[in-house]
Structure 1
Amino acid sequence: MVMSTFLSFIFAPPPSLVVSTLSVVSLVSLANAGLSEIRGKHLNYSKFWNANPSSEKQIKLSSKTGMLLLYTPAFLAALASFWIFPHEGLRSTLLQSAVTLHFFKRDFEVLFIHKYSGGMLLDSAIPITLSYFLSAATMVYAQHLTQGLPEPPINLLYPGIVMFVVGIIGNFYHHYLLSNLRAKGEKEYKIPKGGLFGIVICPHYLFEIIQFYGISFISQTLYAFCFTLGTTFYLLGRSYSTRKWSEERVELAYTAIVMSVLLSFMFPPPPSVVVSGLTVISFVILVSSFLSEIKGKHLNYSKFWNANPSAQKQIKLPSKVGMLLLYTPAFLAGLASFWIFPPQSLRSIILQSAVTFHFFKRVFEVLFIHKYSGGMTLESAIPITLSYFLSAATMTYSQHLTNGLPEPPMNLLYPGTVIFVVAIICNFYHHYLLSNLRKEGEKEYKIPKGGLFGLVICPHYLFEIIVFYGIFFISQTLYAFSFAIGTNLYLLGRSYSTRKWYVSKFEDFPQNVKAVIPFVF
Structure 2
Amino acid sequence: MECRESFLQFLSWGLIFCALAYFVRQTKTHTPYGRYVGCDGPPGRTCPAKLAWFLQELPSFLVPVLLVLTTDSQHSLGRNLLLWTFCLHYFQRTFIYSLLNKGRPSPLYIVVSAMVFCTVNGFLQAHYLLHCATYDGAWLTDIRMGFGLLLFFVGMAINIHSDHILRNLRKPGEVVYKIPKGGMFEYVSGANFFGEIVEWVGYAIATWSISTFSFALFTLCAIGPRAYHHHRYYKERFDEYPKTRRAVIPFLL
Change in 2 beyond 3 A, CA 1:440/1:277: same
Cα distance, 1:271 vs. partner?
5.4
Partner of 1:381: 111
The match for 1:474 among 191, 203, 206 is 206
Structure 2 match to 1:365: 97
Shift of 1:510: 2.3
Distance 1:404 1:294, change over 3 A: closer
Q: How many residues align?
A: 246
SS at match of 2:129: helix
In the alignment, the residues of structure 2 paired with residue 283 and residue 514 of structure 1 have an alpha-carbon distance, to the nearest angstrom, of 26
Once the two structures are superposed, what CA deviation does each residue of 1:226-248 show, in whole Å capped at 9, x if it has no partner? xxxxxxxxxxxxxxxxxxxxxxx
1:252-401 alignment, distance < 5 Å: 272-295=5-28, 297-309=29-41, 312=42, 314-341=44-71, 344-363=75-94, 364-368=96-100, 370-372=101-103, 374-401=104-131
Task: Return the letter of the residue paired with 1:512.
Answer: T
1:498 and 2:227 correspond: no
Once the 2 structures are TM-superposed, how far is the Cα of residue 306 of structure 1 from its aligned partner? 1.7
2:26 and 2:225 in contact (8 A); partners too: yes
Paired with 1:321 and 1:395, the residues of 2 have a C-alpha distance of 24
Q: Distance in 2 between matches of 1:405 and 1:419?
A: 19
TM superposition shift of 1:509: 2.1
Preserved CA contact (<8 Å) 1:302 1:375: yes
For residue 437 of structure 1, what is the aligned residue in structure 2? 169
- SS of the equivalent of 1:298 reads coil
The code of the aligned residue for 2:9 comes to S
CA RMSD of the aligned region, Å?
A: 2.1
| Amino acid paired to 1:386 | V
SS at match of 2:251: coil
Q: In 1, Cα distance between the equivalents of 2:11 and 2:38?
A: 30
Stretches (4+) displaced over 4 A: 403-408
1:344 CA displacement: 0.7
- Flag the structure with more relative contact order, 1 or 2, with Cα contacts below 8 A and sequence separation at least 6: 2
Question: Displacement, 1:371?
Answer: 2.0
1:426-476 per-residue CA deviation (whole Å, 9 max, x = no partner) reads 211111111111222323221101112121111111110111012212322
Q: Give, in angstroms, the shift of residue 401 of structure 1.
A: 3.2
Spell out the pairing of 1:21-170 with structure 2 (5 A cutoff): none
Could you tell me which amino acid in structure 1 is paired with residue 241 of structure 2? F
For 2:206, give the aligned amino acid.
I
TM-score scaled by length of structure 1: 0.45
Native 8 Å contact 1:424 1:467 kept in 2: yes
Q: Which amino acid aligns with 2:87?
A: T
Letter in 2 for 1:448: P
| CA distance in structure 2 between the aligned counterparts of 1:471 and 1:394, rounded to whole angstroms | 14
- Give the distance between the partners of 1:276 and 1:421, measured in 2 at CA: 27
SS in 1 for 2:231: helix
Paired with 2:7 and 2:117, the residues of 1 have a C-alpha distance of 15
Judge conservation of contact 1:355–1:392 (CA < 8 Å) in 2: no
- The residue number in structure 2 matching 1:200 is none
2: CA distance, partners of 1:343 / 1:434: 42
1:382 is displaced (CA, Å) by: 1.6
In 2, distance between residues paired with 1:446 and 1:460?
16
- Where does structure 1 lack aligned partners over 5 or more consecutive residues? 1-269
Q: 3-state DSSP class of the match of 1:412? A: helix
User: Secondary structure of the residue that 1:439 maps to in structure 2?
Assistant: coil
For the 8 Å contact 2:56–2:118, the answer to whether it is kept is yes
Percent identity, please. 24
Please identify the structure whose Cα radius of gyration is greater.
1
Distance 1:475 1:493 in 2: 26
Pairwise CA distance, 1:404: 5.1
Shift of 1:403: 4.5
